[in-house]
Amino acid sequence: MRVNINSWFASVKSACPICGRGSSQGSQSIPIPIKHPAPRQVMATLCGSCRQAIPWIAYPTCRICGRAERCEDCIRRQVRHFSISRCAVGYDKPMKDWLALYKYRGNEQLELVLAAMLAFAYERLCEAIQPDFHAITSVPLAPERLLDRGFNQAERLAIRLANWYGLSYSPMLERLRHTEKQSLKTRRSRVVDMRGNFAAVSTALFSPTIILVDDIYTTGSTLDECARVLQQANQIEAKTTVYGLLWARS
Ligand SMILES: [Zn+2]
Ligand SMILES: [Zn+2]
């Protein structure tokens, strides 16, 4: 039996990275709401029904956290350390499945798709403020979770975004387990002894504007605590503005 290698490659290439079906069917009529050509190209590999399933947050109701619905969290919060944040999509059942698929498979194609979706949030953030970003970083995972999974999804997405948009990525935070606090105090990279779960590392210094990436925004408390720590690390020089960039808003 002769196998046509070219057509085999073509069919593999055109399979939707989410559902595995042919990606060209019915997808042309569904617009991709991203300007940058690289993430656009990634989104174009999705089939029509997967592309249609994405609950983009095109017009956030909450101007602070970028939520599509009216937001009690931001109304209740009395002190906020991050400036504003933007989220790409609402965290519905399909998006939960997509993220779970990526988290547990670590598939590179899925990673590209999620990063391309984050690009949508980045472009919305640039519309909301003057884009004069100097640095981009991500919310770190707890050491034991990093060991379990082998990678930090927020960091992976942030690095891809940084490459597309010419931003400078560096890890600026570490996540501490409370029980490890004492032993970690001696580490040289540690510049701030903090109250919560995060500490800034030396790369966090001298960054007047920071974009902080995470996968899910739930209450905003992780984002806010990270922003507080980053600001505290920079206090001697100047006030640091921290913007949140999240893949999904729950
Ligand atoms: Zn699909
Ligand atoms: Zn809000």
CA of 79 to the centre of ligand 2 (A): 13
Ligand nearest to the CA of 94: 1
38 compared with 221, residue with greater pLDDT: 38
Ligand nearest to the CA of 249: 2
CA of 77 to the centre of ligand 2 (A): 9
Please name the residue that has the structure tokens 């510049």. 191
- The percentage of the chain sitting over the pLDDT mark of 90, rounded to a whole number, equals 56
Tokens (6 digits) for 230:
């980053």
CATH number of 57-249: 3.40.50
For 19-34, write each residue's pLDDT tens digit: 988 766 666 788 999 9
CA of 44 to the centre of ligand 1 (A): 11
CA of 133 to the centre of ligand 2 (A): 22
Tell me which H or E stretch contains 195.
none
CA of 89 to the centre of ligand 2 (A): 14
| Rounded Cα gap, residues 122 and 172, in angstroms | 19
CA of 219 to the centre of ligand 2 (A): 9
| Radius of gyration from C-alpha coordinates of the chain | 19
The pLDDT score that the predictor gives to residue 166 is: 94
CA of 210 to the centre of ligand 2 (A): 19
The pocket of ion ligand 2, defined by CB under 5 A, consists of 62, 64-65, 67, 71, 74
The pLDDT score that the predictor gives to residue 233 is: 86
CB contact burial 79-114 (16+ within 10 A = b; e otherwise)? eebbbbbbbbbbbeeebeebbebbeeeeeeebbbbb
239 compared with 157, residue with greater pLDDT: 157
CA of 65 to the centre of ligand 2 (A): 4
C-alpha dihedral over 12, 16, 19, 21, to 10 degrees? Answer: -60
Please report which confidence band the pLDDT of residue 106 belongs to, taking 50, 70 and 90 as the band edges.
confident
CA of 18 to the centre of ligand 1 (A): 5
Could you please report the per-residue DSSP string of 141-171? PPHHHHHHHSS-HHHHHHHHHHHHHT--B--
The pLDDT score that the predictor gives to residue 2 is: 54
CA of 15 to the centre of ligand 1 (A): 8
Comparing 47-51, 57-61, 189-193, which segment has the lowest mean pLDDT? 189-193
CB contact burial 135-161 (16+ within 10 A = b; e otherwise)? bbbbbbbeeeeeeeeeebbbbbbbbbb
CA of 69 to the centre of ligand 2 (A): 8
Ligand nearest to the CA of 43: 1
Please report which confidence band the pLDDT of residue 177 belongs to, taking 50, 70 and 90 as the band edges.
low
The pLDDT score that the predictor gives to residue 60 is: 92
Assign residue 42 a region: left if phi > 0, alpha if psi is -120 to 50, beta otherwise?
Answer: alpha
101's CB contacts (< 8 A; 6+ apart) are 18, 107, 110
The pLDDT score that the predictor gives to residue 210 is: 93
Please report how the helices 153-165 and 108-128 are oriented relative to each other, as an axis angle in degrees rounded to 10. 60
193 pLDDT above the threshold of 50: no
98 pLDDT above the threshold of 90: yes
pTM of the model: 0.86
Helix (H, G, I), strand (E, B) or coil at 201: strand
> Which sequence spans correspond to the domains of the chain?
1-53, 57-249
Average pLDDT over residues 115-144: 91
Comparing 96-100, 127-131, 209-213, which segment has the lowest mean pLDDT? 127-131
The pLDDT score that the predictor gives to residue 176 is: 85
Average pLDDT over residues 45-49: 92
222's CB contacts (< 8 A; 6+ apart) are 139, 214
CA of 76 to the centre of ligand 2 (A): 9
The identity of residue 94, as a single letter, is P
Please report how the helices 93-105 and 108-128 are oriented relative to each other, as an axis angle in degrees rounded to 10. 130
Residue 59: CB atoms within 10 A of its CB come to 8
Please name the residue that has the structure tokens 């032993």. 183
CA of 31 to the centre of ligand 1 (A): 15
The pLDDT score that the predictor gives to residue 207 is: 78
Q: Chain-wide mean pLDDT for the chain?
A: 84
The pLDDT score that the predictor gives to residue 23 is: 64
Tokens (6 digits) for 86:
């933007």
| Rounded Cα gap, residues 26 and 5, in angstroms | 25
